[in-house]
Amino acid sequence: MTVSLIPAELTPAQWQPLAAAHADRVDALLADHLARRERRQPHPVEDFLFTYYPTRPNQLRIWHPGPGVRLLGATQYEGMKGYLYSDGAVHLDPAYVAKRSDSIQWIRRLLAATLDRQPQFGCFGLHEWAMIYRSDEIRHQKWPLRLGAEGTDQVVESHKIACSHFDAFRFFTTPARPLNVLQPTRESQPALEQGGCLHANMDLYKWACKLMPFTPSSVVLACFELARDIRTLDMRASPYDLTALGYTPIPIETPNGKATYAATQREFATRARPLRQQLINLCDAVLAPATT
C-alpha cells in the first residue's frame, strides 16, 4: 500500500487546485462546528474533536502533499514548520525529519503493535460510564443521565470493565479504577493498545496530525471522518441521554444494545486497519532517508 500517488513534482497549475479542493472539503466538514463556535454553543459530541485533540480548523485547511513531493512556486509554504523552500520549490525539510525522528519512531511502534494485536470487542463502551461512577462531578452536566446516577452505578457494578486504553482509563473516577481488569499506563500503551478499541481508532486522527506536515491531507481527513463517526457511537452508548440532539441511545446494558455496539465497533475496526497501515507506511517513508 503506497502513502501517496501524487507525482514527485507539481507545477502551480497542478497543486493549487488540489490545495483549494482540500480547503473546501475541510470547510464543508467543519461548517456546523464553526457555526456553533460563532454562536458560542457547545456540543457534547462534536466539540470533542477540537477540545480533546489539539489540531485547530485553520491547521486542517493547510494542504500537505506528503513525503517526496516538490511544489513549484509554493512560496506560501516558505517558513512553515517542516518545509524548506529552495530552487523555486518547497519540499519537506530533512532537518525537521531528523528532529522528529524519535517521536516518529515511537508512533510507528505503537501503530504497528496495535495493528498486529488481536482486536477485542467486549468493552461495550463502559469507559464513559466509569468516568462518572459514584461521582457528583458529571462531565456533561447539561445533559441528563439516561438511567440516573444510581442506575448508572449499577451498570458499572454489574459488568466487567475491560478498558485497555490509557487515555480513557485516566479519566475513570477513583472508585472505578480498581474495577478495571487492566491498569493501563502511558508506558504500557504499546503493550495494551488493540484495534477494537474505539479510542485507539479515534486516535488515528491524533497520530495523523502529529505526523503533519508529513501526512498527506487525504489521510488526515480520512482519519478525521473516522474519529467523528466513532465519537458518535461513543456518546450514543454513553450514560447520557442525547436524544434532544438527535442521537438515538444504544442501551449497552441490554443484550440488543451490546450486539449493536459490538457490530458497529467491528465496522470501525475494519475501517481503521488500512488507515493504521497507511500511517505505518508513512513513518517508514519519512524515516527511510535517515536510516539508509
What are 241-253's pLDDT values in tens digits? 999 999 999 999 9
Residue 288: per-residue pLDDT: 86
Q: Half-sphere exposure (CA, 13 Å, Cβ side) for 244?
A: 9
- DSSP secondary structure letter of residue 145: B
Residue with cell 481527513: 221
What are 190-243's pLDDT values in tens digits? 999 999 999 999 999 999 999 999 999 999 999 999 999 999 999 999 999 999
Q: What is the mean pLDDT of residues 2-16?
A: 77
> Of 222, 260, 290, nearest to 1 (Cα)?
222
Residue 249: per-residue pLDDT: 97
> What residues are paired with 92 via a beta bridge?
83
Look at residue 4 and tell me if it is in a domain: no
Residue 165: per-residue pLDDT: 96
Look at residue 245 and tell me if it is in a domain: yes
What's the chain's average pLDDT? Answer: 94
Q: What is the mean pLDDT of residues 144-168?
A: 96
Residue 177, CA distances (Å) to 118, 121, 124 in order? 24, 20, 17
Look at residue 53 and tell me if it is in a domain: yes
CA distance 110 to 243: 36
Helix, strand or coil, per DSSP, at residue 126:
helix
Residue 290: per-residue pLDDT: 52
Domain count, the chain: 1
Look at residue 243 and tell me if it is in a domain: yes
Look at residue 103 and tell me if it is in a domain: yes
- Write the DSSP assignment of 73-118 as a string of letters: T-GGGTTSTTEEEETTEEEE-HHHHHHHHHHHHHHHHHHHHHHHSP
What are 44-58's pLDDT values in tens digits? 999 999 999 999 999
Q: How many helices (H) and strands (E) does the chain have?
A: 11, 4
CA distance 274 to 279: 9
Q: Tell whether omega for the bond before 213 is within 30 degrees of 0, i.e. cis.
A: yes
Question: Helices marked H in 5-91 — which ranges?
Answer: 12-39, 48-51, 57-60
What are 95-153's pLDDT values in tens digits? 999 999 999 999 999 999 999 999 999 999 999 999 999 998 777 778 999 999 999 99
Residue 139: per-residue pLDDT: 78
Residue 219: per-residue pLDDT: 98
Domain span including residue 126: 9-291
Whether the predicted pLDDT of 4 surpasses 60: no
Look at residue 2 and tell me if it is in a domain: no
Whether the predicted pLDDT of 269 surpasses 50: yes
Look at residue 156 and tell me if it is in a domain: yes
Calculate the CA 173 to chain-centre distance. Answer: 23
CA distance 123 to 14: 47
Q: What is the mean pLDDT of residues 254-277?
A: 98
What are 77-96's pLDDT values in tens digits? 999 999 999 999 999 999 99
Look at residue 3 and tell me if it is in a domain: no
Under 8 Å CB-to-CB from 128, ≥6 apart: which residues?
A: 234, 235, 237, 238, 239, 240
291 pLDDT tier (thresholds 50, 70, 90): very low
Residues 82, 87, 92, CA angle at the centre, nearest 5°? Answer: 20
Cα radius of gyration (the chain): 21
184 pLDDT tier (thresholds 50, 70, 90): very high
Report whether 111 contacts 276 (CB < 8 A): yes
- Which grid cell sits at 274? 488500512
CA distance 205 to 59: 13
